[in-house]
A and B are shown apart, each in its own frame.
Chain A
Amino acid sequence: MDLSLTESEAAFRDEVRTWLQENHPGPSPEGDDQAEFEFRRSWQRKMHEAGWAGISWPQEYGGKGATLIEQAIFNEELARESVPAPANVLGLVMGGPVVIAQGTDDQKERWLEPILSGDEIWCQGFSEPESGSDLASLKARAVKSNGGWKVTGQKVWTTYAHEAKWCMLLARTDQDAPKHKGITYFILDMEQPGVEVRPLRQITGEAEFNEIFMEEAEVPDENVIGDVGGGWQVAITTLMFERAGLGAAAVMGLRRTLNDLIALVTERGLEDDPLVRQRVAEFQIGIEAMRLGALRTLTATMKTGIPGPEGSLGKWQWAKYNQAMTEMASEVAGPDGVKVGTETTYRFLRSRANSIEGGTTEVLQNIIAERVLGLPRLR
């Protein structure tokens, strides 16, 4: 057991830190969603030019080929320097890695570079109105038509669909197969007449996610990832990348929220209030336990090569502590904690989604109960 950084890990951290400090894009524009998105796109381009955008991707595909530990260090530094998120998060964290893992050479050639540069934004079309936690029950249907497929159906909660060129799309290609077997994984071109995107306004007021309506939308054969009927496995791979990507970046974000909370509490003269102290300590302990748990998982993953179901603990902790901290900040901040437009209010409202997006806390608890503890399945 040795938690200190090796010489080369420390050198890597210094390299990242120096680069970020020298190239920090400054504060993002506020109040205009589109301007903010373009700001993040140009920030991603800058990172890409310096080779940082695909930190986890192999070098042969334009990435940095960093080890899991280097990725963790990188993500810590990103959060420490408070840089904006790249515009193409879903492409970088899920789309690209899935294409690299399961795509053909032609697909890699076609899609990877524009993901890294941010020229082509990706979104994830999994959830449907009737299929959320029970994703495998999805109904969007793809029908064979010479040289390709025609897709009809509806997706919902699709983050960045309104900015996206490509959609990782799950659709049913075999109505008769058992529900996990009849699904195929497509890459759908969003710029076509058969696809309509309608923004959905969130409780925060902004419209980050959307509905997608597909009416005989066309997908050529060469846009199928993996085998026809083998989409479920590819989807699981996608979700695995999603969880791994989230976990790494999450801890430092929480730490910043905690630091802000401590500053807020002090500013409001509540630093000696025993109840406040107890809760702040709980957050400090929880966040640290989460950071250490992630490092344990990472060490295990480096040995076995596959992230295990324990990863669900990290996602659960993240939602739990982020919601509790932003709730407390909203309470302590006085009127600013509930006024429209303040950072405190935004974080408080945005965190409500944490226990839903990327797998609800209840579903994560099911996974832990069944796959880690070996308890009998619900059904």
Chain B
Amino acid sequence: MNFDLSDEQREIKDTARQFFAARFKPEKVRDLAESRSYDDGLYGQMAELGWPGIAVAEADGGQDLGLVELAVTLEESGYACAPSPLMGSAGAALVISAAGSDEQRAEWLPRLASGEATGAFGGVSPDGQSTLFCDLPTADVAVVFDGDGALLAPASELDCEAAETIDATRSYATVVAAAGERMPGDADAGRDRLAVAISAELTGVGQRAMDMAVEYARERKQFDRPIGSYQAVSHRCATMLLAVEESRSLVYYASWAADAEPESLPMAAAMACARASEAAWETTASALQVFGGIGFTWEHDLQFWLKRSRVAGRMLGSPREHRDRVAALAGLGAGAPAGAVA
């Protein structure tokens, strides 16, 4: 038993950290957020590094690595709050890999993995309620969970409305009616793997907010002392660490289980998603309090992580819905459904 990243996994994470730190400085994030756009050139570089297809099989044009490798990459993309179609594309590829027919795989996976096409995902319930789709309407192909499994549709064939959310670092849309070709494989496993990927990004979001808050608490002085020497502030920061480390443990475990112990995945994914989405919000909100008034301004960068946590944290349903699924899987009651269609 060894619960640590391998040397190769650590290297992937370090490379991603450096890549995002160099190319997605806060000014760049702000520029892209203000124009609500992505930088195609930078996404091309990510694709060259193999990231969208990092967990896609070699036969489908991917890197053939595991969900752990994708998770650490997305953790770093969340740490930078990088605006890019990586989440939508890698996420869609996870579901197509798990559930797509041979034709669906052959048509989309090589193109998603190479960055030639981008992907999106979300859900529409039988009564027509849409979640926020990640990366619609900008993507080429979308995974649509409809309560019975998952459909695959070229984005052009989906009737959708762009949703201008508070998270300007990513495009979102709602879908008017589920459409597309049914994927015959294991859509539940695809959705669980996707939930882990989102949780990984959220863990990075929380980590960044904590790092920002801790740095500020060391520097900022009031009453002639650094504010971080006041326990109301330092214990707040310790609580952030608890939240971030709990999500990280659950995310790494779930991403390991996805490939190595699939029978544990449903519970592992539900726990990771519940904790990571809640923890990212808790941590970014708590960081705002540490910053005081400056943290509430449009000029301050914290807003990007705070808003990302709020929106990304509900892409596959709210923390409440994930917790309800955890309760059901823990043996409580008749096993109410996940609540969320996605």
Question: What is A's interface to B at a CB cutoff of 8 Å?
Answer: 1-6, 9, 69, 258, 262, 265-266, 271-272, 274, 276-278, 280-282, 284-286, 288-290, 292-293, 295-296, 298-300, 303, 310, 313, 316-317, 362, 364-366, 368-370, 372-378
Of A5, A272, A280, which contacts B330 at CB under 8 A?
A280
B234, A9: Cβ atoms under 8 Å?
A: no
Of A266, A271, A317, A375, which contacts B218 at CB under 8 A?
A375
A366, B245: Cβ atoms under 8 Å?
A: no
Note all chain B residues with C-beta closer than 8 A to A3: 1-3, 253, 256-257, 260-261
Question: What is B's interface to A at a CB cutoff of 8 Å?
Answer: 1-6, 9, 68, 214, 217-218, 225-226, 228-229, 231, 233-235, 237-239, 241-242, 245-247, 249-250, 252-253, 256-257, 260-261, 271, 274-275, 320, 323-324, 326-328, 330-334, 336
Of A262, A281, A368, which contacts B323 at CB under 8 A?
A281
Q: How far is the CB of A314 from chain B (nearest CB, A)?
A: 10
Q: How far is the CA of A295 from the CA of B4 in the complex (A)?
A: 9
B324, A277: Cβ atoms under 8 Å?
A: yes
**Majority secondary structure of chain A interface residues (helix, strand, loop or mixed):** helix
A289, B249: Cβ atoms under 8 Å?
A: yes
29 A–B pairs (Cβ distance < 8 Å), ordered by A = A1-B6, A2-B256, A3-B3, A9-B1, A69-B1, A258-B330, A271-B334, A278-B323, A281-B323, A281-B330, A282-B323, A285-B271, A288-B250, A288-B253, A289-B246, A290-B246, A292-B3, A296-B3, A303-B4, A313-B242, A316-B242, A365-B231, A366-B231, A369-B231, A369-B235, A373-B234, A373-B237, A375-B217, A375-B218
- With CB as the reference atom, state the residue of chain A lying closest to B246: A289
Note all chain A residues with C-beta closer than 8 A to B249: 289, 292-293, 296
Of B6, B218, B241, B247, which contacts A376 at CB under 8 A?
B218
A369, B237: Cβ atoms under 8 Å?
A: yes
Q: How far is the CA of A373 from the CA of B217 in the complex (A)?
A: 10
Of A1, A9, A265, A316, which contacts B4 at CB under 8 A?
A1
Note all chain B residues with C-beta closer than 8 A to A303: 4
Instruction: Tell which of A296, A300, A366, A373 has the most Cβ of chain B within 10 Å.
Output: A373
A313, B324: Cβ atoms under 8 Å?
A: no
Q: How far is the CB of A301 from chain B (nearest CB, A)?
A: 11
Q: How far is the CA of A298 from the CA of B5 in the complex (A)?
A: 13
B332, A274: Cβ atoms under 8 Å?
A: no
Known: A296-B3, A374-B214. A4 touches B261 (CB 8 A): yes
Note all chain A residues with C-beta closer than 8 A to B68: 1
Of A280, A299, A368, which contacts B3 at CB under 8 A?
A299
Note all chain A residues with C-beta closer than 8 A to B218: 374-376
A369, B238: Cβ atoms under 8 Å?
A: yes
A285, B274: Cβ atoms under 8 Å?
A: yes
Of A2, A276, A376, which contacts B2 at CB under 8 A?
A2
Q: How far is the CB of B132 from chain A (nearest CB, A)?
A: 23
Q: How far is the CA of A266 from the CA of B335 in the complex (A)?
A: 13
B274, A1: Cβ atoms under 8 Å?
A: no
Q: How far is the CA of A272 from the CA of B332 in the complex (A)?
A: 7
Known: A281-B327, A285-B274. A373 touches B5 (CB 8 A): no
Known: A1-B4, A285-B271. A313 touches B245 (CB 8 A): yes
Q: How far is the CB of A320 from chain B (nearest CB, A)?
A: 9
B336, A272: Cβ atoms under 8 Å?
A: yes
Of A277, A280, A290, A375, which contacts B234 at CB under 8 A?
A375
